A = this chain, B = another copy of it.
Amino acid sequence: MSSDGIIKKYELLKKNFKNNENDSKITEYIFDIYNNCIEFLNGVSIKDLKSLSANKSYFTFEGASKFSRAVNKDLFCTNPTIVNSFFDCMGANSFSQMSSSDITKACYTIAISFCCSIDLLKSNDQKTPGTFFEYFIGHLYSKRFSLKPRTQLDVLNLDMQSTLPTDFVFDLGTGKPKYHVPVKTSTRERVIQVWGHQRVLDGVYGTGRFLGLLTCLSETKLDHKKLEVVEICLPEQWRLYQLFIAQLKRIYYLDIPRKYEELNNVFPKINIKPFGDFFSEADVLDVF
């Protein structure tokens, strides 16, 4: 049964992720999970959704008595070629031969296949998709930086001594950047936490020591009765957070919401990019 397989493989990933974040066996678990999800979703019917976001089309996987979250038609690869090429790149840890756009599509397909499978297999389970997404994205950063992340930092500050729990932190070493990488399937009103954490890092270690790279899946919300998809965005809040709390270096999305994409075009700009761009700019993020 592929549906049993998904959960079992996910449990294996969960059990083995820590301390093996850039190991090839993590790639293999994700590859297995992806194949199980696709096999499961191939047996499920698809229904078009009404999209309230201009120039974006969405569908849903229809289970026995419920719908999965919305899936972006342009980003979801029905043909496995691009996704398989991406797994080859992960295996070789070399992404330069793939375009940003193809990387984003492959990552989107892998992430959303798992999320939609869990939407149909479990009830109201947001935690499992969130954890898978965190591990998947954490693995990719860990591969690209060839480095294991940390999830807590020591604070030694005059008479204070404590530890600061963080999202993934990748420390490239003395005189090189340190990256603060929060990972969320969607942000909603909780996103202020990310700027808050960045502010603490700036305060404790000095502004500019940690570059924040928030990485998200999408901001879609599906109305299960009307079968309408909207993107929930708070661009004016984000501008206030970026102005008054701290500066994030990049916000990467697999499915960039239109209203956030527009923040690239107003001064002072917030850099919001497709996640695929990370793979080519990873070595020069401290320069630009």
Contact = CB atoms under 8 A, between A and B. Distances in A.
Interface of A: 155, 160, 162-165, 190, 192-193, 195-197, 199-200, 202-204, 236-237, 239-241, 243-245
Contacts of A199: 196, 199, 244-245
A204 B240 contact: yes
List 3 A-B pairs, minimum CB-CB distance, nearest first. Answer: A203-B244, A162-B236, A196-B196
B240 A200 contact: yes
A160 B162 CA distance: 39
Count identical subunits in the complex: 2
Contacts of A165: 237
Q: Which of A196, A241, A243, A245 has the most CB of B within 10 A?
A: A196
B245 A200 contact: yes
A237 B163 CA distance: 8
Nearest to A155: B240
B196 A192 contact: yes
A255 to B, nearest CB: 25
A98 to B, nearest CB: 36
A204 B243 CA distance: 9
A225 to B, nearest CB: 20
16 contacts: A155-B236, A155-B240, A160-B236, A160-B239, A162-B236, A165-B237, A190-B193, A192-B192, A192-B197, A192-B200, A196-B241, A200-B240, A200-B245, A203-B240, A203-B244, A245-B245
B162 A240 contact: yes
Nearest to A202: B244
A75 B155 CA distance: 37
B162 A203 contact: no
Contacts of A243: 203
A164 B245 contact: no
A257 to B, nearest CB: 17
Nearest to A267: B159
A245 B160 contact: no
A195 to B, nearest CB: 6
Contacts of A190: 190, 193
A158 B53 CA distance: 30
A127 to B, nearest CB: 13
A197 B192 CA distance: 8
A162 B238 CA distance: 11
Contacts of A236: 155, 160, 162-163
Contacts of A196: 192-193, 195-196, 199, 241, 245
A207 to B, nearest CB: 11
Contacts of A241: 196, 200
